Amino acid sequence: MIEHVPSGTRAESLVVVSNRLPYNLPHAPGSRPPRRNVGGLVNALEPALAQYGGAWIGWDGNPLPSGAAVAEALARPLVFRTRSRVELHGVPLSEREVSLYYHGFSNRALWPLFHDFPGKVAFSPEEWSVYERVNRRFAEAVALRTGPGCRVWVHDFHLMLVPRLLRELGFRGPLNFFLHVPFPAPEIFRALPWRSEVLEGLLGCDGVSFHVGQYRDNFVGSARQLSGARSVGFGPEGSVMLRHRTGETAVSAVPIGIDVEDFERIARKPEVEARARRIRDCLGGCRMLFSADRLDYTKGIEERLAILERFFETNPDAVGRVVLVQVVVPSRHQVEEYRMLKREIDRKVGRINGLLGREGWMPVHYRYRALDREELVAHYRAADVLLVTPLRDGMNLVASEFAASRVDGHGALVVSEFAGIAERSPGALLVNPYDVDGCASEVRRALEMDPEEQRTRMAQLRERVRANPLRRWVERCLESGRRDSPRGSVRTDAPGLALPDGCEPVA
Ligand code: GDG
C-alpha cells in the first residue's frame, strides 16, 4: 500500500501540513504494516493531493518514549510514498508531547472552545507551551522541505501557530490555512489566554479559509477586536481582506466538498447494491434509520439516543417496525472524557434495547468500529433516513456522502442546524438536536415522507453536493490567498494549482 523511499528524492509543488498523516507509519521500513486513519480530514485531503502530487507532513502516529528518541528520529527522517505517489513525511512526537499538545491543549482546550462548549474547556500553561513547541517542530519540518516556489497548506486547529513560525523561519512562498472545525464567536474566543498568539499565528498566511460564512465572520471579528486588524475590502473568492501588523490576509468561506464520483462509483457496484439488500433483509422488513459518527460529544450521539427513545414513546406503532443502525468510530480513547462518553453510550444503548427490545427485534443496532468504505456506502444505500444531529460540527461529510451515494434518488436526510452542512442541505429536514420532541416528530416526518417529496428533496441535495466536488474546494481554498503579492500570486489558467517550478526538497 505504501513504500519507503529515500528522503529528498522529489521536487514538491504542494505541501500539505496536518496533525496526522493519512497512515500510521512504521518506524523502520517494513517493520509494521501501515494503518489508514479514518476521519473527515484524511478522506478530504488524500484524493486532492493524489491529484496534484506533492508531500504531506504530519505526525506519524507513533508516540516515542522520550525526547532523546525524538531527537534520534529527527536526525534520520523516513519518507514514504503512497500508491497515489504522495510523499509522506513523519514528524516525530514523544509520548509526553502527544499527551500535552494533542490530548491536552488541542483536544481539551481548543476543541471544546471552538465547538462552543466553554464548560468543558481546561486551560493549562504547560500544555500551551508544549503546543507551541510542537508547532515549532512542524514549522521546522516544513521549512526543511520547501523551496521558495512551494505552496504550503496548513490544516486545522492543532497547528494554528505554524504559519507565523514558518514566516519567521524565512518561508516567503504562498501560504494557506484551512480550519475544519467552527471558529467561535469573538465573545467565546476571547476566553483563550493565548488568543493573540493564535490570531498572529494564522495571520501569517496569505489566505485563511473556513467552511461557512459564520466562522469567517467570527474570525474577522476576533482579529479586528483583539489584534487591531482592519478590513480593507474584498479579495478573490468573496474573501474579506484583513490588513494587520505584518501584512494582509484574505479570509474566506469555502465549504469542503467530497469526492462525489468515487461515492457514486462505489454505490453503483453490484456487490454494494447486493450488500445493501442483505442489510435490509437482516432487518426483517423494518424501516432503517442510520447514523455514523466518530466518538465525540459534539456529534450528539447520546442526545440522538434520547431522541430515538422519545420517538418510540410518541409513536408506539413504530415499536417492532423501525430500527436505528448506529456506527461509532473509536476516537481519542486516551482521553478520559471520551472513555466516559463511550461507557455512557453503551449504557444508553443497553437501556433502550433492554426496555424496548423483544424477540426478533432490537431498536438499536450498535457497531463500535469503523466499517470499510464499501460497507459504509452499502449502509448509506440501505437506509431510509440518515440522522446527522451533532450539537456542533464544522461541516459534516457524512451527510454529503449519503447524498452522493443515493444514486437511486431515494432516502431522507435529517440534519442539525448546528452543523455547517445545514446551510448547504436544501432538501434536508433541519432540526434543533436540543429539542427532543421536535426531533422525534421530524424523524416520523422523514419516515412518512411520500416518495415524490423524497425524490424531489434528494435531487436538490444531490445537485448541491455535485456542484461542490472536492477538487473545486481545493482550487478555491488555494486561490483565496492574495493575488497582488509577489509571494502569493495565483494563476487561474491551469486546472488546480499553478505553481512556480523549482521546489527543492532539502532533507
Ligand atoms: C472534521 C470536522 C468536517 C465515518 N464512519 C466511518 C467512516 N467515517 C468517515 C466518513 C467521513 C468521516 O469519517 C467523518 O467526517 P465528519 O465530517 O463527520 O467529521 P470529523 O472526523 O469530525 O471531521 C468536520 C471534517 O473535518 C472535514 O472538514 O466536516 O466538521 O469535525 O468521511 O466517511 N469511514 C469509514 N468507516 C466508518 O465506519 N471507512
- Reading the chain (507 residues) residue by residue, the pLDDT tens digits are 555 555 543 444 789 999 998 888 766 656 666 677 766 567 667 776 777 678 999 998 889 999 999 999 898 887 888 777 788 999 999 999 999 999 999 999 999 999 999 999 999 999 999 999 999 999 999 999 887 678 999 999 999 999 999 999 999 999 999 999 999 999 999 999 999 999 999 999 999 999 999 999 999 999 999 999 999 998 777 799 999 999 999 999 999 999 899 999 999 999 999 999 999 999 999 999 999 999 999 999 999 999 999 999 999 999 999 999 999 999 888 888 899 999 999 999 999 999 999 999 999 999 999 999 999 999 999 999 999 999 999 999 999 999 999 999 999 999 999 999 999 999 999 999 999 999 999 999 999 999 999 999 999 999 999 999 888 898 889 887 744 444 333 222 222 222 222 222 222
CA distance 94 to 224: 37
Is residue 367 domain-shared with residue 492, that is, in the same domain?
Answer: no
Is residue 436 domain-shared with residue 500, that is, in the same domain?
Answer: no
Instruction: Report pLDDT for 83.
Output: 76
Domain-located, residue 10: no
Domain-located, residue 372: yes
Ligand 1 mean position, distance from CA 397 (Å):
6
Is residue 431 domain-shared with residue 493, that is, in the same domain?
Answer: no
Is residue 142 domain-shared with residue 267, that is, in the same domain?
Answer: no
Instruction: Report pLDDT for 86.
Output: 83
Ligand 1 within 6 A of CB of 46: no
Is residue 285 domain-shared with residue 140, that is, in the same domain?
Answer: no
Is residue 353 domain-shared with residue 413, that is, in the same domain?
Answer: yes
CA 430-436-440 angle, to 5 degrees, is 65
Domain-located, residue 481: no
Tally of residues, the chain: 507
In angstroms, what CA-CA distances link 57 with 15, 146, 467? 7, 11, 30
Total structural domains within the chain: 2
C-alpha cell at 287: 424501516
Main-chain dihedrals φ then ψ at residue 504, nearest 5 degrees: -100, 115
C-alpha cell at 160: 494554528
Ligand 1 mean position, distance from CA 364 (Å):
21
CA-proximal residue: ligand 1, atom 9 (nearest): 39
Q: Residues near 293 by Cβ (< 8 Å), separated by ≥ 6?
A: 299, 301, 327, 328, 329, 390, 398
C-alpha cell at 34: 501501515
Domain-located, residue 400: yes
Domain-located, residue 141: yes
Is residue 498 domain-shared with residue 457, that is, in the same domain?
Answer: no
Is residue 397 domain-shared with residue 502, that is, in the same domain?
Answer: no
Atom of ligand 1 nearest to the CA of 419: 30
Ligand 1 mean position, distance from CA 41 (Å):
7
- Residues 279 and 379 sit within 8 Å (Cβ to Cβ): yes
CA distance 225 to 229: 8
CA-proximal residue: ligand 1, atom 30 (nearest): 394
Ligand 1 mean position, distance from CA 63 (Å):
23
In angstroms and rounded to an integer, the radius of gyration of the C-alpha atoms of the chain is: 23
CA-proximal residue: ligand 1, atom 11 (nearest): 40
Characterize the bridge pairing of strands 322-329 and 287-294. Answer: parallel
> From start to end of 166-264, where are the E strands?
175-178, 207-210, 230-235, 239-244, 247-253
CA-proximal residue: ligand 1, atom 33 (nearest): 398
In angstroms, what CA-CA distances link 78 with 8, 30, 421, 495? 10, 12, 38, 31
Domain-located, residue 215: no
Ligand 1 within 6 A of CB of 398: yes
Pocket test for ligand 1, best of 272, 398, 413, 423 (most atoms within 8 A of CB): 398
- Residues 151 and 13 sit within 8 Å (Cβ to Cβ): yes
Is residue 102 domain-shared with residue 136, that is, in the same domain?
Answer: yes
Specify the CATH number for the domain of residue 355.
Answer: 3.40.50.2000
Whole-prediction pTM: 0.91
Domain-located, residue 158: no
Is residue 462 domain-shared with residue 496, that is, in the same domain?
Answer: no
**End-to-end Cα distance, the chain:** 24
Is residue 270 domain-shared with residue 124, that is, in the same domain?
Answer: no
Domain-located, residue 193: no
Phi-psi group of 7: left, alpha or beta (phi > 0 → left; psi -120 to 50 → alpha; rest → beta): beta
- Residues 176 and 207 sit within 8 Å (Cβ to Cβ): yes
Range of the domain at 324: 260-466
CA 293-259-205 angle, to 5 degrees, is 85
- Tell me, what DSSP letter sits at residue 91? E
Instruction: Report pLDDT for 491.
Output: 26
Is residue 506 domain-shared with residue 403, that is, in the same domain?
Answer: no
